[in-house]
């Protein structure tokens, strides 16, 4: 594989961006799991917990990359990733059950277990974006690790200030999902036509973003206090 080719660099950047856009959960889990430790042990918990979580995630992603060669799993993975892209836009805070560890190893265990339970979306997204290249998986995660550990809290604040970044992230996931579906061996003949291929990708991205925007708008409208009705005189 040509490591300096535009295709390789684009795929690598795509994986890193997916890792970052889905790293908010990691930052929350790390912070909540280590919050009760003394300051001098918090860094150790963060490094050890994140290292263990990333190791498990690399192995899981490589397994999924190889499984995607099984017939119809590209389609299943793509459809699941479409749902993940939509949920990214409409997700709600669901981290109240993450318990802070009282000891270093309890915190490390919490970080690793919680990340493994929550990391399915990341594994599927990265596996789809890697197109079967294990080196892309490993490089992408290794590049993302320092950002997840040190910069993910900052990234969360940026997303809060600039909500449209989440829509870009969802669009990237939807793009990856549509590419997975078009790479399904059974559909090769159908998607050989460039017009059909790109029309399908644009349709999936547009549908996911539109559905997420409509859901958020409906939630916001329902959350507004109802104005009191005027009494007739």
Residue linked to tokens 């958020």:
216
Does residue 232 lie within any of the structural domains? no
Does residue 90 lie within any of the structural domains? yes
Residue linked to tokens 């709600």:
92
- Mean pLDDT for 181-199 is 90
How much is the pLDDT for 50? 74
Does residue 29 lie within any of the structural domains? yes
Torsion angle, alpha carbons of 36, 158, 80, 56, to 10: -40
Q: Mean pLDDT score of the chain, rounded to an integer?
A: 77
Does residue 170 lie within any of the structural domains? yes
Residues 6 or more apart in contact with residue 2 via CB below 8 angstroms: 8
3-state secondary structure of 50: helix
Does residue 179 lie within any of the structural domains? yes
The domain of 211 spans: 6-220
Q: Are the C-beta atoms of 14 and 127 separated by less than 8 Å?
A: no
Domains in the chain: how many in total?
Answer: 1
Chain segment 131-177, per-residue pLDDT in tens: 777 888 888 877 776 666 665 455 556 666 777 888 888 888 898 88
Does residue 227 lie within any of the structural domains? no
In this predicted structure, which of 10-14, 62-66, 96-100, 177-181 has the lowest mean pLDDT?
A: 96-100
Instruction: Please give the Cα distance from 40 to 34 (Å, whole number).
Output: 11
Chain segment 70-117, per-residue pLDDT in tens: 888 888 888 988 988 888 788 655 554 555 556 777 777 777 776 666
Residue 214 pLDDT > 70, yes or no? yes
Does residue 228 lie within any of the structural domains? no
Q: What is the 3-state secondary structure (H, E, C) of the chain?
A: CCCCCHHHHHHHHHHHHHHHHCCHHHHHHHHHHHCCCCHHHHHHHHHHHHHHHHHHHHHHHHHHHHHCCCCCHHHHHHHHHHHHHHHHHHCCCCCCCCCCCCCHHHHHHHHHHHHHHHCHHHHHHHHHHHCCCHHHHHHHHHHHHHHHHHHHHHHHHHHHHCCHHHHHHHHHHHHHHHHHHHCCHHHHHHHCCHHHHHHHHHHHHHHHHHHHHHHHHHHHHHHCCCCCCCCCC
């Amino acid at each position: 594989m040509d490591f300096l080719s535009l295709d390789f660099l684009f795929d690598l950047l795509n994986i890193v961006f997916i890792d970052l856009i889905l790293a908010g959960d990691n930052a929350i889990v790390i912070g909540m799991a280590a919050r009760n430790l003394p300051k001098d042990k918090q860094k150790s918990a963060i490094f050890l917990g994140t290292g263990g979580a990333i190791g498990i995630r690399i192995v899981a992603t490589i397994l999924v990359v190889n499984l995607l060669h099984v017939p119809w799993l590209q389609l299943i993975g793509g459809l699941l990733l479409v749902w993940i892209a939509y949920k990214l836009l409409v997700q709600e805070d669901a981290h109240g059950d993450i318990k802070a560890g009282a000891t270093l190893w309890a915190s490390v265990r919490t970080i690793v277990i919680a990340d493994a339970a929550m990391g399915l979306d990341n594994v599927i997204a990265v596996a789809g974006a890697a197109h079967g290249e294990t080196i892309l998986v490993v490089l992408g995660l290794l590049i993302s690790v320092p950002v997840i550990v040190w910069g993910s809290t900052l990234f969360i604040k940026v997303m809060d200030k600039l909500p449209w970044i989440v829509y870009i992230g969802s669009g990237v996931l939807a793009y990856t999902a549509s590419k997975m579906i078009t790479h399904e061996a059974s559909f090769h003949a159908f998607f050989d036509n460039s017009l059909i291929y790109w029309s399908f990708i644009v349709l999936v991205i547009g549908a996911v973003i539109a559905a997420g925007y409509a859901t958020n708008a409906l939630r916001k409208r329902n959350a507004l206090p109802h104005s009191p009705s005027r009494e007739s005189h």
